[in-house]
Amino acid sequence: MTKRHILVTTALPYANGAPHLGHLVETIQSDIWVRFQRMQGHDCHFISGSDAHGTPIMIQAEKMGMTPTALIESIQAQQAKDFADFYIEFDHYGSTHSEANRELTAAIYQKQQAAGNINKRVIKQFYDPIKKMFLPDRYIQGECPRCHAKDQYGDNCEVCGATYSPMELLNPYSSLSGAEPIEKESEHYFFNLQAFTDFLKTWTRTGHLQAQIINKLDEWFKEGLREWDISRDAPYFGFLIPGTTDKYFYVWLDAPVGYMSIFKNEAFWQADSETELYHFIGKDIVYFHALFWPALLHGAGFRTPTAIFAHGFLTIDGQKMSKSRGTLIKARTYLNHLPAEYLRYYFAAKLNDRIEDLDIQFDDFVKRINADLVGKFINIASRAAPFITKLFAGKLSSQLAEPALYAIFEAAGDDIAAHWEGRRYSQAIREIMSLADRANQYIDEQKPWVLAKTAETVPSVQAICTVSLNLFRLLMIYLTPVLPQTAKAVAHFLNSAPLTWQDKATPLLDHVINEYQPLMQRIDLKQIEAMKMAEQTEKPAAPEQSSFITIEDFAKVDLRIAKILEAEQVPEADKLLRLIVDIGEEKTRQIFAGIKAAYDPATLIGRQVVVVANLAPRKMRFGVSEGMVLAAGPGGADIWVITPDAGAAAGMKVK
């Protein structure tokens, strides 16, 4: 076998949130593949890191009152820890916000520039005059141009499903400040992707992509590739474009370059490199990885990926994960309630090499873990081991009593290896579990518990349990990429070195094993309930929603100057005065105001105040209150009504 030199990456998660189960579909899938390659004796590097730049991270840091650098560092540490606790074995978990990445991004850009692939042009975009920044589409809200639903986002209406450009929204406003965005011009930098059309047509059709992706790309080629806007205006958290003072690289330019800067190994990135490069990604970022990224690499004289492995999205009990619906489960919350390997196993049992969404059904999850892992797999060891310990001082026989059965299990290893290699994980698991059934059936037939009762048949118990434990050992080898922690515990139990794939050829005989300790526990639906509950009751670390009200919200408030005509005590109320105010147009209102401790009613008569004229009337014990008088202060006696300057007259609207 020739030793392969492989680099595997997962997509770099944005540094503005803790990992959730959706991220784990990808990291677990890639970790299984990496561990399998390493077990084959290949040299397999595995890296990831935080994608640190962009407007959402800048805004998030601002909301949390921290610098973007402090935010991305703390999230990077959390991501690294959470993944490590799921036994994801990265060689390095880096960040795109590094000097090395800045230099490499600039170098790639400059090569493209020298080749004439960068153009500049002025474009018009929405600009928030209060925040003084250009607004990415996601920060623009407004009324749907089709159904007039309010508060819809920049590109599609959640009510009627219409899609549009943010410029088409009616009464648009910035979700950051509430301001009405203005259109403003600015010079942008574009990468001329069209120049790579021929290269990409060939590259995408020569074995680097899954069939479904190739079909999607054909559609894009038919529409014609378009230039890619790679610059963003200040303020922006990212890298300055060389030669400018206020233009930054769009986060998606320096993000994939992060793969290179995090894995600093030049031999891997040279155009003629014989090493292999694989990117595991979600289906939503295929465009970046199958078009922009190979074009950037190729144009800058680097190698291109060997393959891109795209997967679908995670759904939970059939629903898209959503924070607001309470179906989003963070990696850490899961770990607080359930073993990491159970999720690894469940995902493996459902993953394949196609781009399909993966659903966790928690009922099914519980059943599957209990039936497969505990009931079938671990059961083989827990049935056989105690006899070896009690009756034979831990010693296995020196001969294998069922060489034919062992040979079947051993031969299956090649098939299973091909499934791991081809990312047909669910098929690998299916084969392994059917072998586990077979091993249990063997024990059922041989009935060692009966044979152990009679002196003459006791020796055959050693033979049967030696066969059983050797079958178990093969299954453990095949499951090691999925269950690395259990594999360690099993190596200890078998009193052997860490299991390698080659070990399947040599059964463990004439060997003393350690006493069996329970390797896995059954789980209960209650643990799932507790996990879901913990996620729902947890307070969000930072408000996701803007705490601003929009200009539209504010415009709903009808504020007027009012003149106090009457003021008197309300004996039954501790805090209230009853006021009659003139709000103009010869209208008067009765308002109960909580200013009793601060004012002698007599001093209020004739004064002007500001009232909310369109507050819904509220029935109180002493009458109906038809508005609210604005007052400010900590409360009690320290509260002051807001009084307009001379010249204001009752009925004037507050502008």
Q: Which among 12-20, 167-175, 355-363, 447-455 is the span making contact with ligand 2FM, rule CB under 6 A? A: 12-20
Contact assessment for residue 645 and residue 608, using Cβ atoms and an 8 Å cutoff = no
E-assigned strand segments in 65-201: 92-95, 118-128, 133-134, 140-143, 152-153, 170-174, 182-191
* Selected binder of ligand 2FM within 255, 355, 374, 579 (CB under 6 A): 255
Compare residues 20 and 35 and give the one whose CB is closer to ligand 2FM: 20
Task: Give the H/E segment covering residue 287.
Answer: helix 286-287
CA-CA distances (angstroms) from residue 290 to 139, 251, 279, 430? Answer: 28, 17, 10, 32
Q: Does 26 bind ligand 2FM (CB under 6 A)?
A: no
Q: Closest approach of Cβ 12 to ligand 2FM, in Å? A: 4
Q: Which x/- pattern over 125-154 shows residues binding Zn ion (rule: CB under 5 A)?
A: -------------------x-xx-x-----
Token representation of residue 291: 């078009």
Q: Does 598 bind Zn ion (CB under 5 A)?
A: no
Q: Which among 116-124, 251-259, 390-398, 409-417 is the span making contact with ligand 2FM, rule CB under 6 A? A: 251-259
Q: Does 341 bind ligand 2FM (CB under 6 A)?
A: no
Q: Closest approach of Cβ 57 to ligand 2FM, in Å? A: 10
Report the 10 Å Cβ neighbour count for 453: 9
Compare residues 262 and 429 and give the one whose CB is closer to ligand 2FM: 262
Strands, sheet with 140-143, edge to edge from the N-terminal-most edge strand: 152-153, 140-143, 170-174
Compare residues 308 and 374 and give the one whose CB is closer to ligand 2FM: 308
154 binds, among ligand 2FM, Zn ion, none (CB under 5 to 8 A by kind): none
Contact assessment for residue 232 and residue 134, using Cβ atoms and an 8 Å cutoff = yes
* Selected binder of ligand 2FM within 17, 142, 256, 507 (CB under 6 A): 256
Q: Which among 84-92, 206-214, 253-261, 393-401 is the span making contact with ligand 2FM, rule CB under 6 A? A: 253-261
Q: Does 18 bind ligand 2FM (CB under 6 A)?
A: no
Distance CA 412, CA 428 (A): 10
Contact assessment for residue 108 and residue 257, using Cβ atoms and an 8 Å cutoff = yes
Q: Closest approach of Cβ 242 to Zn ion, in Å? A: 43
Q: Does 14 bind ligand 2FM (CB under 6 A)?
A: yes
- Residue type, position 134, single letter: F
**Cα 492 → chain centroid:** 35
Q: Closest approach of Cβ 150 to ligand 2FM, in Å? A: 29
Residues constituting the chain:
655
In the three-class reduction of DSSP (H, G, I as helix; E, B as strand; rest coil), residue 205 is classed as coil
Distance CA 341, CA 403 (A): 32
412 binds, among Zn ion, ligand 2FM, none (CB under 5 to 8 A by kind): none
Q: Does 13 bind ligand 2FM (CB under 6 A)?
A: yes
Strand pairing category for 608-612 and 628-629: antiparallel
Distance CA 422, CA 425 (A): 8
Compare residues 261 and 397 and give the one whose CB is closer to ligand 2FM: 261
Q: Which residues bind Zn ion (CB under 5 A)?
A: 144, 146-147, 149, 157, 159-160, 162
Q: Which residues bind ligand 2FM (CB under 6 A)?
A: 11-14, 51, 255-256, 258, 285
